[in-house]
Amino acid sequence: MLKIERHSIIDQEIKKQGFVLVPALSELLDCSEETIRRDLKEMEKAGKLVRTHGGAYLIEKYDKGFPIELRKSQLQHTKERLADAAVSLIHENDMVMLDSSTTCLAIAAAILARGLSVTLITNALEVCSLFSEANSDINLVCVGGTFRRRTMSFADPNTVEALRRYYADVAFVSCPKVNVEFGLSDNHISEANVRKQMLRNAKTKVLVADHTKFEGNANILFEGMDDLSVLITDQKLPEDMEAFAAARGIEVVYSQE
């Protein structure tokens, strides 16, 4: 197949669903993944898409975040290790809040695997689906609102208002970017407000962030780091972040291999 034909098909596929995955394109176009990566690189230079690890996506107006399907394909083993560390903070009969990140989806899977009996509050449709299809002792509360297909989550002022009715033993959030100077940041104002409310309505406030989250900022700043209880990550923190956490009594937990 000629390159121009591949580009045309890739363009059609990405416009259908807003994203493409390298392995799926390789199978569809019957060519190597390396060829697909070269095609995506050329199409990015032409302004037709944005590349990321494992695929590419189209930027939505006013939202630089990328679709959940792409996020689920990234750092899967790392997220599982982070989830194992996170679950160690949960006790039987706790009330637990989880945001719509794929890291928190991994935490939900770890809760299910451990057979914990907790009340789980979330705005993530995929977390709700995970427990709806399994036999567990989870008391599931899904806070509704406007559905966002890009994140498979509910996020609007109604979601935030629903969260105000609860006070959790522990809340886990995993936002796109973390910075000592600006704190936690997001790509969408509604998602940012949901995460902010979860942290404010929890006794133990936990940020779960892999090493890629400490590079740069997203555009929506929503919470400082001062009130965090625990920071769970997979690699040694940048020096300024480590010093900040120590000065403010934030416990740093490194996930194990």
pLDDT score of 24: 84
131 and 16 within one domain: no
Does residue 68 sit within a domain?
Answer: no
pLDDT score of 200: 96
Residue type, 68: I
pLDDT score of 47: 83
49 and 92 within one domain: no
CA distances from 84 to 51, 91, 208 (A): 30, 13, 11
Does residue 12 sit within a domain?
Answer: yes
| Rounded average pLDDT per 10-residue block, the chain, 257 residues | 86 80 86 89 84 75 57 76 96 96 95 94 95 82 91 94 97 93 90 96 97 83 93 93 94 88
Burial environment of residue 153 by CB neighbours within 10 A (0 to 12, 13 to 18, 19 or more): buried
pLDDT score of 136: 78
Q: Which residues contact 141 (CB under 8 A, 6 or more apart)?
A: 119, 120, 121, 122, 166
Q: How far apart are CA 22 and CA 37, in angstroms?
A: 7
114 and 34 within one domain: no
51 and 130 within one domain: no
225 and 100 within one domain: yes
Task: CATH number of the domain at 47, please.
Answer: 1.10.10.10
pLDDT score of 253: 96
The tokens 């009594």 sit on which residue? 249
pLDDT score of 104: 96
Q: How many residues would you count in the chain?
A: 257
* Enclosing domain of residue 47: 3-58
DSSP letter at 46 equals T
